[in-house]
Structure 1
């Protein structure tokens, strides 16, 4: 199976070297004498001389006598299989954005989640003519730096942030009036050169196109861009097999605006994707660094600006328009359109009406889904269950130039499992294998709205769901008034698993909420100024008005493997994970006995029932995971002077104690109702794999599920965070490492202390706990990893990315997702912290207990004790 590395945008990579490391290497570097002989100017002259000898300009009319020519941004000529650009000299030195997208894929990489419409590489380029050498050079630049034209430092900025040459074209001819040059461009689009398009490296295959099997299929020229479609072929060797791969790619060469949009500076209290910008000036005492939020250019028409500023809703000069892929099944189109139009209310909070629109593709003459002028909801026929909302951004200003939603067909399977497991008990329409069009359509509408939120520049707000009190989610009036499951659709709040059957709650699907309207207003409300710095005080005042209302709180996404702030988790709802999870378990306990009735009609196999059973088990796991995050958790804020907030606040001690109590009942003692023999007689839990469905035995599944949760509970990072808070606030004020380990010990070894025989589940819990402690102590003694050079953030590193819409039951946990997410750095030299003695102390306490009780209980219990004793002694090197 080919597994490409997927991303929506490509980072501009640079390497960060420390001054000290350069100094250490200074003596080892050979001395380089730069003289006129090898200066850039002399090289240009040499190149010009060589070119003059080897070639001469061709006659324009003769060269293009048989050409098919199209006009637009500049003329494109096709002479049989040769393609020429006629680039006006007035466009030399201008900024172009090179945008590469996938247009079609074979089965081999479709299965890995690479599909039509995905943007895999962007870069800013400029063309430069060299008349003496009769060539055109192409440079790529990182437009991250800005300085005033009249300042002395501006020359230094130009010298120290130059572009790099990536390509060279021979000038074939000049236009008849000498206002343009003609260059042959086949090599950068047919796979011969990778300077404009390195698709197989960017999607993770690491191969090169085979030129004999690759070709340009079509070129189009439009007023603001050139569109080139190519078929590029390669082969990938896996094991002893060679797999052919042909990918159609579309390259857009887009002329960026002469005057970039006025940027808006980011504030990490409102969740927008951003692109970095550095400002130099003569008046500074240090460089100014800013993040520019990514957003569309929405402005009132000139004649409407007075009305706009007086508070009247007006239509923007250029609305945001999304086209619906004609490949989209007709029954889902209205729901996807509704999901787009739902954002119109949010834009009204920014002063615009009809700001975002959705259109079906009818007879638009020059419509092309690959044309970067059109934003498209692209429907991908794929077994993958996901969706994403990437954007094409002008890195000079943060302006979103075009945006797409990639909609995988199988996203409906994820929606179905979530609804059945989370709400099937309270919603009879969410039970069977096949949903009604209305039931599925409303869920599609929610995903459409979420993904469109990304295309508008909004990040995930995983902290939004914590604003709703858990008990309020059981209130019919509250949920009807507030809508959905959280104040932001950009949370992964999913569906209302808290509401009980007797509550009568019907508004159980995520919707655009008050935070979303606030965030759109903050990012898009037009201000009549020319300097983004003048907007800062206004922007800050908008935040100040809402900063103490939890409905407007932004909680940045965190790594799912190391959640720091338990309020900002994926797939949780409510302000108390213990209470919410308890309600969720009640519904799950009602649902499990119904699995066969819901998923297997008479005559059906139990395959669907097995998959639904696996989803139920993982839902139980998810509830426990939400609870664990409270232990050793911090509430993270982004305070500013005067707002009275703290950056790091430990989760209250009582709440951490509640979390441990939940785990004692639901994890250390595995719930019997989840593994009922009646269901297991017909099916085990089933998970699809590339090799076919795997049926997981209950004992193995118990062991793996419990082990993973225990490992997370006593992870080094969690214990180190607890030690940090103990050092700041004192032992009596916080939930300590000792409190945690003592509580675990007393629960898991309760029966051992009584001297009674252990059940198989009790032995399993002890084996899992001892093993995570053993692994933890081994890990603490490992040598520190060698430090490596890290790539620098490019101007497009913080753009919308793949949404994780796959239920945990069916997710490939072995595929890491690298993200720049907020965390607290606590891992350096962990072996010198109190984590090591705490874990070893826990092992010694267990060892002493087992040695006293090793002759108690039945034969299985005694053998179990002796095994644990041997393991601990070997690990601690005790004879």
Structure 2
């Protein structure tokens, strides 16, 4: 197998290492070990010494091009100088680094223009004796009252760290500012301000001879520096040159920070941590501040606002659409942005959110933090995300961007064809109409803008709609879309049947979204966030038992605990929803060749559509399976009558297993249509070209992964947890589950009949799942992995997973994993080990008893299973 250079570098880059809105840099300061002897002269002598040893301001900047802004920026040929007023020393600046252009090699890995990869708060500090300016980075996470005794301790225990030093080249003529030369932190010489290649996962350093500053701009609130940084990456025998343009913003943070708003786990906002110290405490007060825009009524309108009138905010939220966006999609992206206006009206504001096109491109820079941008990335990546630049002192969103990868349209196309093609004639061809695709683009635009407003995924929203209501034309028209929140992954309405004539089948902003925006943005006339939180709790209390207002945190797709909060599920009953979905898939499969292969075309697109169909079948089984061993998770408060952990009812778990008996243990023949398979196998693109999956191979792969998931340790351990709490008579148990699986899968064996190829495959997959997981039970616990699992990283952006499962890479897609129910310590001493081994022994006895009762293929199959089990259990 030969990989080209582009593929090599794309594979080499670990895109998951990107930390957009990254944590504070961990680079240690460079401290000079030079001893300085200081003689204290008189004041007049100090001034003379300063003037004699420093350069003359006019001579230094004689031929300079000067820009005025937050401070002056001077360019003398290739040298750049900051003239920083002394009044700005020790003020908070936010250093924001963004990618401005990339080569093909890292474009393929999903690194693109507009990505914000490293932020930190810095302060310039004058060291007059050494005639230098130090740059300190701080983590503004602590606060204490000015008059408290503990405040001095806070200052001593949370100091900033020096990351850079600059020589003072000159003072301004009136001695009110210092001039420093800043080339080294922007041209790749030093990494203190910008360590791009580490942050995007390359782990290399810039080559200074091939790097440099392209230009600088200075504005009233920020300085913008654009640089070209070059490196090379070697993989095997190939070395790839990589040059990346980066834009660094130095943004002066507000002198008066925004009033923060405390979070509540029952409403889904991104957060930033804050610690409060005071003399009156008996323990440290820790809070999470929600990330939100500073949206306030104008002073003259506040009385009207408090009376309930809609007023315009003092400063609206404005998004610009990238001029490089294809013109036909611009109106739909703008509509997706403006859709949020209705939600802001629930918070008391009109004209609060606006979308604009860039009319003057000459002075417009999308990487300037003065502008929030929907950035269009020409890339094969199929995704989108909505990161924000946040003031870590308060959670204020200062600027937001949506990164919109061009190929996201391929994902939308597959979803619509697979999920709604049988009820929507417009979603049946390889190329949709502009209106059809534009409608889907509008939905993605709204979803991503929701992230830039501070909202997290609400994966529990879709469970609020009764499944049969999704088949109602009047209900869907009234409620809108597929869930009460567009922040769910409730893609398109796969429940509705052709005879239902449902037309409102796309996600829309719903009841929860309006409620969440009002909860986070409604202005309250108080300066105390603690008092605000008490009022906000009353808002939650008013809806605490209404499922339309429920927030369900995103979970890892590999370990779903609450089956109500799943990706891409619909309705309040996953079994019923999946059964409706299967009916539509049955209608779809015979149409694949007609929908995806025009006369004269190859069957490549048909093969890809078929793969998407198979994975949609897999998704339905996955949704159902999550009920088994599932808990309904809540974040209750005292007095609301809710329980934190409630096992999924026993009968619902039994219903889920019955579905799997029908669909998983006996794979549906209609899914492997001979006529379709005579023209194309299922196809998946890979870095080395398309892979065509043989149907027997595809069956084994699909069934094996689901079977392994069904009996994985986490699921069985959760069943044991509930048995220990409630008793085996009130909950679904491990022994019940394993017994029913065995009796179903080995039913033909008990009757002495020969097995078909598919029946042998099912038995092999089940035994293999037990064998592999039993062997893993004896592995040592990885304590580092546990620690990593329980580390909360609220400041990471929401990277949406907009790739259909059929085309995802094998690596697990990162979920937020903010809520983890830890059950797997010392698994090898739990009842899971004895249950699985006991099950293997029961199967072994059954096989030994029946090993000669059937045809040759079946006998060979039984002997193979017997040998595998004996070898695993070390039975002679």
TM range (shorter): over 0.9
Partner SS state of residue 582, structure 2 = helix
1:482 maps to 479
1:269 maps to 266
Do residues 833 (structure 1) and 830 (structure 2) align?
A: yes
Do residues 519 (structure 1) and 516 (structure 2) align?
A: yes
- What is the TM-score of this pair, normalised by structure 1? 0.95
In the TM superposition, residue 12 of structure 1 has moved relative to its aligned partner by: 3.2
In the TM superposition, residue 339 of structure 1 has moved relative to its aligned partner by: 0.2
Question: 1:344-355 maps to which residues of 2 (within 5 A)?
Answer: 344-355=341-352
Question: 1:496-645 maps to which residues of 2 (within 5 A)?
Answer: 496-645=493-642
Do residues 11 (structure 1) and 16 (structure 2) align?
A: no
1:73 maps to 70
1:716 maps to 713
Do residues 674 (structure 1) and 675 (structure 2) align?
A: no
1:357 maps to 354
2:659 maps to 662
- Give the Cα–Cα distance (whole angstroms) in 2 for the partners of residues 843 and 48 of structure 1: 84
In the TM superposition, residue 8 of structure 1 has moved relative to its aligned partner by: 2.2
- CA-to-partner distance for each residue in 1:316-342, whole Å, 9 max, x for gaps? 000000000000001000000000000
Match of 2:241 among 234, 239, 244: 244
Question: 1:390-469 maps to which residues of 2 (within 5 A)?
Answer: 390-469=387-466
**Counterpart contact for 1:11–1:793, Cα < 8 Å:** no
- Give the Cα–Cα distance (whole angstroms) in 1 for the partners of residues 320 and 254 of structure 2: 23
1:211 maps to 208
In the TM superposition, residue 468 of structure 1 has moved relative to its aligned partner by: 0.2
- Give the Cα–Cα distance (whole angstroms) in 2 for the partners of residues 819 and 165 of structure 1: 33
2:145 maps to 148
**Counterpart contact for 2:790–2:820, Cα < 8 Å:** no
**Counterpart contact for 2:456–2:798, Cα < 8 Å:** no
- Give the Cα–Cα distance (whole angstroms) in 2 for the partners of residues 599 and 272 of structure 1: 41
- Give the Cα–Cα distance (whole angstroms) in 2 for the partners of residues 797 and 450 of structure 1: 19
**Distance 1:790-1:47 versus aligned 2 partners, 3 A rule:** farther
Match of 2:801 among 792, 797, 804: 804
1:28 maps to none
- CA-to-partner distance for each residue in 1:172-221, whole Å, 9 max, x for gaps? 00000000000000000000000000000000000000000001001000
In the TM superposition, residue 800 of structure 1 has moved relative to its aligned partner by: 2.7
Partner SS state of residue 403, structure 1 = strand
- CA-to-partner distance for each residue in 1:799-834, whole Å, 9 max, x for gaps? 432100000000112255264421200111011110
2:43 maps to none
**Counterpart contact for 2:218–2:224, Cα < 8 Å:** yes
In the TM superposition, residue 790 of structure 1 has moved relative to its aligned partner by: 5.8
In the TM superposition, residue 429 of structure 1 has moved relative to its aligned partner by: 0.3
Instruction: Give the stretch that moved more between structures: 258-267 or 778-787.
Output: 778-787
2:130 maps to 133
In the TM superposition, residue 537 of structure 1 has moved relative to its aligned partner by: 1.2
- CA-to-partner distance for each residue in 1:775-809, whole Å, 9 max, x for gaps? 11111111222547968999984243210000000
Partner SS state of residue 328, structure 2 = coil
**Counterpart contact for 1:13–1:791, Cα < 8 Å:** no
**Distance 1:792-1:575 versus aligned 2 partners, 3 A rule:** closer
- CA-to-partner distance for each residue in 1:238-291, whole Å, 9 max, x for gaps? 111001111000000000001110000000000000000000001111110000
- Give the Cα–Cα distance (whole angstroms) in 2 for the partners of residues 692 and 650 of structure 1: 45
In the TM superposition, residue 575 of structure 1 has moved relative to its aligned partner by: 0.4
- Give the Cα–Cα distance (whole angstroms) in 2 for the partners of residues 605 and 834 of structure 1: 54
Higher relative contact order (CA 8 A, sep 6+): 1
Partner SS state of residue 358, structure 1 = strand
Question: 1:19-30 maps to which residues of 2 (within 5 A)?
Answer: none
**Distance 1:89-1:206 versus aligned 2 partners, 3 A rule:** same
- CA-to-partner distance for each residue in 1:718-741, whole Å, 9 max, x for gaps? 100000000001001000001110
Do residues 161 (structure 1) and 173 (structure 2) align?
A: no
**Distance 1:42-1:831 versus aligned 2 partners, 3 A rule:** closer
In the TM superposition, residue 366 of structure 1 has moved relative to its aligned partner by: 3.7
In the TM superposition, residue 109 of structure 1 has moved relative to its aligned partner by: 0.4
- Give the Cα–Cα distance (whole angstroms) in 2 for the partners of residues 253 and 485 of structure 1: 42
- Give the Cα–Cα distance (whole angstroms) in 2 for the partners of residues 696 and 791 of structure 1: 36
2:308 maps to 311
Partner SS state of residue 510, structure 1 = coil
- Give the Cα–Cα distance (whole angstroms) in 1 for the partners of residues 111 and 119 of structure 2: 17
Structure 2 unmatched ranges of 5 or more: 1-7, 41-48
In the TM superposition, residue 45 of structure 1 has moved relative to its aligned partner by: 3.9
**Distance 1:47-1:406 versus aligned 2 partners, 3 A rule:** farther
- Give the Cα–Cα distance (whole angstroms) in 2 for the partners of residues 795 and 411 of structure 1: 29
- Give the Cα–Cα distance (whole angstroms) in 1 for the partners of residues 828 and 307 of structure 2: 62
- What is the TM-score of this pair, normalised by structure 2? 0.95
Task: Report how many aligned residue pairs link the two structures.
Answer: 852
Do residues 650 (structure 1) and 638 (structure 2) align?
A: no
Partner SS state of residue 217, structure 1 = strand
